[in-house]
């Protein structure tokens, strides 16, 4: 498999956790063995990897802003890793969620309990508050229990919000209906860094949460519109996987367009979902087929997104 798309252990754990559901993963996964890896990205921006989605951190004398917070049992380890940087003794003042999934928001409650303010798009709060079923409209589905009140974002926004801290205008911009209906991409313009959440991942075919308002075209639009706003040498933090650049994002977007076109062609020829799977129409993109989203699961995703089918198992939407 192309090294670029090889699943890291963190991505495998995150995928398994999502498949099991947030509550089950917290019970079954031994978080005591998880280590937090910290990488300096640019200036005072760092990337933290553990179990779950990548975290971006702006660390300075005004305090700390983190983007996403993985799972609740890792909150103390994340705090400790930030303190080890010895840049500031100030706490995590703000947590920005890129979307509602538990591997990105599980730490909301413990961070809020020690004084952090959680910020997210309106739909993130709504989905955390109500819970429901996430999935690709087919074989992948997972229950998301309603989050406790302390885990809910205190500040929400419809289009965008800016946090002015550490000499940086940290901008969270909503991109509709990509990975979910509550996605935000986070820009750190002074340091030339962007955190793309799960609209861009490096574990292979992406999980598009069709059940939670996500769509293939929305993900493509998010990548193209975000890319158009960024300098060519920007450093890209993906939702999962290694630090990236715009060439990586463009390769990912190209794959989304090409696979979409193949499935749309099959739809135009009135092929059924089973026929598409049997014909292995995504064989040319086998290098993207992973342990989380394999080729058949991605055919389902594309089929359901292009036809507007969200699955009969939904509790809401």
Q: CATH code at 47?
A: 3.60.15.10
The answer to whether position 115 is within a domain reads yes
pLDDT tops 80 at residue 26: no
What domain range includes position 188? 3-256
- pTM of model > 0.85: yes
pLDDT tops 90 at residue 299: yes
pLDDT tops 80 at residue 19: no
Give pLDDT, residue 244: 98
Give pLDDT, residue 4: 35
β-strand pairing of 184-188 with 155-157:
unpaired
3-state secondary structure of 235: strand
Mean pLDDT of 95-117: 98
The answer to whether position 8 is within a domain reads yes
Instruction: Summarize pLDDT for 108-160 with one digit per residue, the tens.
Output: 999 999 999 999 999 999 999 999 999 999 999 999 899 999 999 999 999 99
Spatial neighbors of 234 by CB under 8 A, at least 6 apart, are 192, 193, 194, 245, 246
Give pLDDT, residue 311: 53
Give pLDDT, residue 194: 98
pLDDT tops 50 at residue 220: yes
pLDDT tops 60 at residue 20: no
Q: Read off the pLDDT band of 309 (50, 70, 90).
A: confident
The answer to whether residues 137 and 309 touch, using CB atoms and an 8 Å cutoff, is yes
Give pLDDT, residue 23: 41
Give pLDDT, residue 310: 64
The answer to whether position 49 is within a domain reads yes
Which pair of tokens denotes residue 5?
A: 């798309």
Average of per-residue pLDDT values in the chain: 91
The answer to whether position 101 is within a domain reads yes
Q: Which helix (H) or strand (E) holds 109?
A: helix 108-113
Spatial neighbors of 55 by CB under 8 A, at least 6 apart, are 47, 48, 49, 66, 67, 68, 69, 70, 78
β-strand pairing of 155-157 with 160-165:
unpaired
pLDDT tops 50 at residue 301: yes
pLDDT tops 90 at residue 316: no
The answer to whether position 217 is within a domain reads yes
Q: Which of 107, 91, 210, 183 is nearest to 150 (CA)?
A: 107
C-alpha distance from residue 284 to each of 162, 262, 269, 303 (Å)? 41, 10, 20, 17
The answer to whether position 74 is within a domain reads yes
| SS percent in the chain: helix, strand, coil, step 5 | 40, 20, 40
The answer to whether position 271 is within a domain reads no
Q: How many domains does the chain have?
A: 1
The answer to whether position 172 is within a domain reads yes
Distance between CA atoms of 302 and 160, rounded to whole angstroms? 28
pLDDT tops 80 at residue 314: no
113-135 burial, b at 16+ Cβ within 10 Å, e below that, comes to eeebbbbbbebbbbbbeebbbbb
Give pLDDT, residue 29: 78
């Amino acid at each position: 498999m192309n090294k670029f798309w090889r699943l890291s252990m963190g991505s495998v754990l995150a995928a398994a956790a999502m498949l099991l559901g947030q509550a089950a993963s917290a019970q079954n996964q031994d978080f005591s063995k998880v280590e937090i890896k910290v990488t300096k990205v640019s200036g005072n921006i760092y990337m933290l990897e553990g179990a779950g989605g990548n975290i971006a951190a702006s660390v300075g004398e005004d305090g700390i802003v983190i983007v996403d917070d993985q799972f609740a049992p890792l909150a103390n380890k994340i705090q400790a890793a930030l303190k080890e940087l010895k840049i500031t003794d100030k706490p995590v003042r703000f947590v920005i969620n890129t979307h509602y999934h538990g591997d990105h928001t599980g730490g909301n409650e413990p961070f809020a309990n020690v004084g952090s303010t959680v910020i997210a798009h309106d739909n993130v709060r709504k989905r955390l508050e109500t819970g429901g079923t996430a999935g690709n409209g087919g074989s992948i589905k997972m229950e998301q229990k309603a989050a406790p009140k302390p885990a809910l974002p205190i500040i929400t926004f419809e289009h965008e919000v800016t946090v002015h801290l550490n000499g940086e205008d940290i901008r969270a911009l909503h991109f509709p209906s990509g990975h979910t209906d509550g996605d935000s991409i986070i820009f750190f313009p002074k340091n030339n860094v962007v955190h793309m959440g799960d609209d861009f991942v490096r574990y292979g075919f992406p999980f598009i949460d069709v059940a939670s308002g996500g769509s293939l075209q929305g993900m493509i639009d998010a990548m193209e519109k975000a890319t158009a706003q960024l300098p060519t040498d920007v450093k890209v933090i993906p939702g999962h996987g290694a630090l990236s650049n715009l060439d990586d994002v463009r390769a990912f977007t190209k794959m989304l367009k090409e696979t979409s076109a193949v499935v749309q062609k099959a739809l135009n020829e009135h092929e059924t979902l089973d026929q598409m799977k049997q014909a292995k129409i995504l064989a040319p993109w086998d290098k993207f087929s992973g342990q989380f989203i394999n080729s058949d699961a991605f055919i389902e995703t594309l089929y359901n997104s292009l036809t507007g089918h969200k699955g009969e198992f939904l509790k809401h939407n």
